[in-house]
Structure 1
Amino acid sequence: MSALITINEIYYLIGVILMLLVGMTLRDKGNPKRMTTALFWFLFGTVFLFSDLLVSALGKSMAYRIIGVEVVLISLIAGFGLLSIGSYKQRSHDERQASANQIGNWIFLPAVLIPVVTVLCTVLLKGVSVGGVYLLDQKQLTLAALCVGCISAILAGWKLTGGTPLHAVRESRRLLDAIGWAAVLPQMLAMLGGVFVAAQTGKSVQEVVSLFVNPDSRFMLVVIYCVGMALFTMIMGNAFAAFPVLTAGIALPFLITVHHADPAPLVTIGMLAGYCGTLMTPMGANYNIVPAALLELKDKYLVIKTQIPTALTLLAANILLMYFLIFR
C-alpha cells in the first residue's frame, strides 16, 4: 500500500532545500570560497535528489560508484579547508532584544513541537490509512513522523516571527555555514557502520582478541569490551555503529558463549561504555562540534575537553558495573 508521505519524498525535500542553499551561496560575493562551498552542498544534495534516478537508469553498481566518488570529493573539499562562512546581515543588539521581548518564551514552541509531534504521529498514525493510502510511510514511520514534526515547527516559527519561507531557507544556510562539514557526519558515519558490518570486522576483532587476551580472564574481557566500545565509538562517532562490531567480536563469542554472561545487562552497559567515547570525539559532531559552532566558541574542541574527565570516570564505573552484574 502506498503512503501520503514516504521516505523518498522526504529525501527529495531535503535535496531541494540544499539546492536552494547552493544557489544562495553562489550569489554571495562576500563568501571568499563560495564556489567550493557551493560544490560541497551540491554534491551532498545530489545524493538525496538523484540516487533513485541513478539506480533506475544505470543500475545499482554504477550508481553506487558514482555516489562513492561524490563522497570522496565531499571529503576532499572538507579536508582541504575549502568551506567558508558566507556574509550575512546582522541585526543590532537592540533589534534582537526587542524581538526577544515580543516573542518571549514562545520562542521554545517550535523546538518542543518537533519531539512532541514526532512521538504523537509515530504512536497514533501507525497503520492509519485513508482510501487505501497510508498517511505516513509505515516502513520508515519514525522518520516520516519526524518530517511532520519539523514542518509543524517551521509553520509555528513563521507564525511567531512573521517570517517567510525564504527567510527560513536563509537561516538554514546560515546554520549550515556555521556547522560546516560536521552537518554531513551522521550520514557518513552510518555508511561507515554498514561498511564495517559488511566487511565482517567483528570476526576480525574476535581473532585479534584471541591472540592477545586469555579467554578465561573475565575481567580482561570486560575491560577490552568496554574500552573497545568507547574507542570504536570515538572512531565512528556513534555507539550504535560500534555496537554490532564489538558485540559480535567480543561479547557474544567470549562473554556470553564461554562465560555465560547475562545478555541484557551486558549489552546495556556496553552501550553506555560506547557513549563514553561519544563524549570524547569530534566525530560525534551533533553533540560536540555543532554546539561549539552555534555558540561561536573560540576553541571548537572546548566541549570535548570539558567532557573528558566525566567520560573516563563513567567508563571506569561501567567496567566495574559490568564485571559485577553480568555473571550469573
Structure 2
Amino acid sequence: MIVSLNAFFWLLGILLFVIGGIIVSDRAHPKRFLAGGFWIVYGVIFLAGDRLPTDVVGVLVIAMAVVAGIGGVVGAKPNMPSEDARRTSAKRLGNTLFLPALTIPLVTVVGTLLAPRLVFGGVALIDPKNATLASFGIGCVVALIFACVLTRDSAQQSVKEARRLVDALSWAVVLPQLLGMLGLVFADAGVGKAVAHLITAYIDLDYRLLAVAVYCAGMAIFTIIMGNGFAAFPVMTGGVAVPVLIGVFHGNPAPIAAIGMFSGYCGTLLTPMAANYNIVPAALLELPNKYGVIRAQVPTAIALLIVNIVLLNAFM
C-alpha cells in the first residue's frame, strides 16, 4: 500500500470537517454557522475536491471568500485550562515540549532519503513522486502521537487545540493554498512572458550578475505583492530564470530553483500579505504595532537577499 498525498488530504479534510462541526455546535460562538460552515466547506474540498466537478469546487471557493469577506470567520473565546494548570504542565514538561516539533523535520528527512528503498513486493511504501510531502505528512502524524504520549493527553484534546488555533488564525489558514494557485493562474495567463518582455526591454541582462540580481530581487518583490513564494516562482522562473539564466548563461536548474525560492522567502518576511506569518503572530502576541514582526525582520530579509544573489551567481 502506497502512502500518498491523498491519504493526508483526506485526513486534513476530516479534521476540518470535525472542527467545523465543533464550531457549529458551540452556542457561545458569535457566528457559529458562518464560521463552522466555512471550515466544513474547506474540509469537503479536501475530501472530495478531485471527485467534484470543477465548477462546483469553484462555487465552494467563492462561497468561502464571501463568508470571509463579510467577516463571518471569527473566533470564539478559547476554552483553556486555568493559568495555574498551564504553568504546572509547562514546568513539568520543560524543553521536552520542543521534541514533537523537531520530530516532524527529522521524519521528513529520513523518509525522503529512505523512500527509494522502502519497496515491498514491487510496491513503494511511500509515493515516490511526492516522497518529501508524504514523509512530511507521516512526520506530522508521528509528532501528534509523540505529543499525546509526552503530555499524557488525548487525541481529542489535540482536536480542541486545532480548533483553537484555527479560530485564532481565521481565514488566513487558507491563504497559502489560494496564493499558490494564484501562481499557476498567472503562469497560464502568460504573466511570466509579459514580465520577461518588460524586464528585457528596460534592463540589459547581458551581464550574469545583473540577471541573477533581477531574478532574486524579482522573486522577493513578487512574493511581497502576492504574499507567497510559490505564487511568485512560476512567474519569475518562467520570465527570467528559464530564458535568461538557463537559456543564455546555461545555469544549473537545481541551485537556480532552490536559491530562487529562498529569495522569495525573503519577500515573505517583508509583506503583510503573508498574514499567517506576519500579521496573525502580532495579533496573538498582542503587540502594540501589528507590523512589528515585519519591522523586526527587515534587516534579516535584506541581508539574506544579498547573500542569495552572491550564492546564485557563484554556484548556478
Once residues 285 and 276 of structure 1 are traced to their aligned partners in structure 2, the CA distance between those partners, rounded to angstroms, is 15
CA 1:100–1:66: 2 relative to 1, 3 Å: same
After TM superposition, the score normalised by the length of structure 2 is 0.86
Amino acid paired to 1:38: G
Which region of structure 1 is more displaced relative to structure 2, 39-48 or 273-282?
273-282
Question: CA offsets, 1:207-252, max 9 Å, x none?
Answer: 2224434555777655543432221111233334323322332344
Tell me which of 287, 299, 308 is aligned to 1:297. 287
Once residues 251 and 121 of structure 1 are traced to their aligned partners in structure 2, the CA distance between those partners, rounded to angstroms, is 30
Question: CA offsets, 1:125-178, max 9 Å, x none?
Answer: 434234554332232222222222112111122212222221111110001111
Q: Report whether the alignment pairs 1:26 with 2:24.
A: yes
Once residues 59 and 81 of structure 2 are traced to their aligned partners in structure 1, the CA distance between those partners, rounded to angstroms, is 41
Which region of structure 1 is more displaced relative to structure 2, 167-176 or 229-238?
229-238
**What's the counterpart of residue 212 of structure 1?**
202
CA 1:135–1:252: 2 relative to 1, 3 Å: closer
**What's the counterpart of residue 201 of structure 1?**
191
Amino acid paired to 1:28: D
Which region of structure 1 is more displaced relative to structure 2, 265-274 or 10-19?
265-274
Question: CA offsets, 1:11-69, max 9 Å, x none?
Answer: 11111111110111011122111111112111211111112332xxxxxxxx2222122
How much has 1:297 moved relative to structure 2?
Answer: 3.5
CA 1:32–1:324: 2 relative to 1, 3 Å: closer
Tell me which of 46, 49, 69 is aligned to 2:47. 49
Q: Secondary structure of 2:116's partner?
A: coil
**What's the counterpart of residue 81 of structure 1?**
71
Q: Report whether the alignment pairs 1:149 with 2:144.
A: no
**Which structure 1 segments of 5+ residues have no match?**
55-62
Q: Secondary structure of 1:205's partner?
A: helix
Contact 1:28–1:87, Cα closer than 8 Å, also in 2: no
Once residues 71 and 106 of structure 1 are traced to their aligned partners in structure 2, the CA distance between those partners, rounded to angstroms, is 40
**What's the counterpart of residue 5 of structure 2?**
7
Give the 5 Å matches for 1:95-106.
95-106=85-96
Once residues 326 and 149 of structure 1 are traced to their aligned partners in structure 2, the CA distance between those partners, rounded to angstroms, is 32
**Which structure 2 segments of 5+ residues have no match?**
none
After TM superposition, the score normalised by the length of structure 1 is 0.83
Which region of structure 1 is more displaced relative to structure 2, 117-126 or 260-269?
260-269
Aligned CA-pair RMSD: 2.9
Tell me which of 228, 236, 261 is aligned to 1:238. 228
**What's the counterpart of residue 120 of structure 1?**
110
CA 1:310–1:82: 2 relative to 1, 3 Å: same
Once residues 177 and 268 of structure 2 are traced to their aligned partners in structure 1, the CA distance between those partners, rounded to angstroms, is 16
Which region of structure 1 is more displaced relative to structure 2, 290-299 or 70-79?
290-299
Runs of 4+ in 1 over 6 A off after TM superposition: 217-220
Question: CA offsets, 1:95-144, max 9 Å, x none?
Answer: 11111122222222211211112222222243423455433223222222
**What's the counterpart of residue 35 of structure 2?**
37
Which region of structure 1 is more displaced relative to structure 2, 120-129 or 288-297?
288-297
Identity %: 45
Tell me which of 4, 14, 17 is aligned to 1:16. 14
Contact 2:269–2:298, Cα closer than 8 Å, also in 1: yes
Contact 1:222–1:322, Cα closer than 8 Å, also in 2: no
Question: CA offsets, 1:262-317, max 9 Å, x none?
Answer: 55776665444323211111333453234335434354432112223443455456
CA 1:19–1:273: 2 relative to 1, 3 Å: closer
Q: How many residues are paired up? A: 315
Tell me which of 110, 124, 144 is aligned to 1:134. 124
**What's the counterpart of residue 171 of structure 2?**
181
Once residues 189 and 229 of structure 1 are traced to their aligned partners in structure 2, the CA distance between those partners, rounded to angstroms, is 14
Give the greater-gyration-radius structure (CA): 1
